Structure 1
Amino acid sequence: MILGSRSCLSVGTGRLLQGLLPHLRELAIGRVDTSGPVVLIEARSEVAEFGCTACGGMSDRVHSRYVRRLADAAIAGREVQVLLTVRRFRCLEPTCLQATFVEQVPGVAGRYQRRTRPLRGVLEKTAVMLGGRPGARLVERLAMSASRSSIEVPPREWTPS
């Protein structure tokens, strides 16, 4: 195989990224765009059905899809964004008060969060060691984006890992 051919890069890219980013191993890696200053990784879940967050009933009826843009830890000095396509399911239980719910991919990011767990861990450790402005300067040089106010994590939110 020729190393520069598209088929060679697309076949091994998913496995390579899953090795570099083990928190994405439960996801199907689609396209990886390295042409710009930010590495864009398109990913989606391959789980056929998901449990309702209110009643726990399983559902395979997809209501809609949308893309979550998650900041991730840097790769080779480049900022990484994960474009995670998540599905909104219909709850099949007639007594459930929640009509639709969104799948949550464990190990990637929590609900409503815009950073992956590995990036959040780096930012929390930076906050403990350096604090606001110095921490923000360090993570900027490490090709991860965070403001000084997001580096200042209150002690009640920080949990040692």
Structure 2
Amino acid sequence: MDEFIKLLDPGLDYVSHEITGDTIVITVISNKEEVVCPYCGHPSSKKHSVYERSFQDLPVMGMKSKIILRNRKMFCTNPGCSHTTFAETFSFIKPKAKKSRRLLEKIVDVSLNVSSLNASDILKNGIADVGKSTICNLLKKRYTPAG
């Protein structure tokens, strides 16, 4: 399982998993020694706290997947930074997002050639729990010209 988690991000370590119905719930934790402050770019190894963050990812072995990330909040040790703390970020998911970037890409791919209602039905059958309004919003964001 650790090898699968490393495909998502080499900076993560597998902690545990459990199967609940049609979903595998995987708990992971960061293994990074230092985390870079997103506000000033200064590295920090001083941990403030840990909180759990959960999100959906691509299916594993035909089962929906939910990942619980034990996310760290860090102290910024740069005296010139306007922020004293910051949350660790990862390239595979946006801050506060409930779906990984690669799952969002899969949702859009499935949704391009069918109605949002049909796409929702297809996706709910073994890929991810997603409603038609989420699909419509993703398609609007993807195809709205920048202005």
TM norm structure 1: 0.80
> Contact 2:22 / 2:126 at 8 angstroms: preserved in 1?
no
The one-letter amino acid of 1:120's match is L
In 2: Cα distance, 1:136 partner to 1:26 partner? 32
Q: Following the alignment from structure 1 to structure 2, what is the Cα–Cα distance between the partners of residues 80 and 154?
A: 23
Distance between the aligned counterparts of 2:143 and 2:129, measured in 1? 19
Alignment correspondent of 1:126: 110
- What do the CA deviations read for 1:26-54 (whole angstroms, capped 9, x no partner)? 31011121254320111111101111111
> Which residue of the partner structure matches residue 66 of structure 1?
51
Return the match for 1:79 from 53, 57, 64. Answer: 64
Counterpart-to-counterpart distance in 2, 1:146 and 1:131:
13
1:114-153 matches, cutoff 5 A:
114-152=98-136, 153=138
**1:136 counterpart letter in structure 2:** S
Structure 1 stretches of 4+ with a deviation exceeding 2 A read: 34-37, 153-159
1:30-69 alignment, distance < 5 Å: 30-34=15-19, 36-69=21-54
Q: Could you state the TM-score of these two structures normalised by the residue count of structure 2?
A: 0.87
Q: Amino acid of the residue matched to residue 135 of structure 2?
A: I
Query: Could you say which structure has the larger radius of gyration?
Result: 1
- The percentage of counterpart residues that share the same residue type is 20
57-66 or 73-82, which moves further after superposition? 73-82
Confirm or deny: 8 A CA contact 2:30 2:70 kept in the other structure.
yes
Q: Which runs of 5+ in 1 are unaligned?
A: 1-12
- Report how many residues are paired: 143
Give unmatched runs, 5+ long, in structure 2.
none
Alignment root-mean-square deviation, CA: 2.0
Deviation at 1:125, TM superposition (A): 1.2
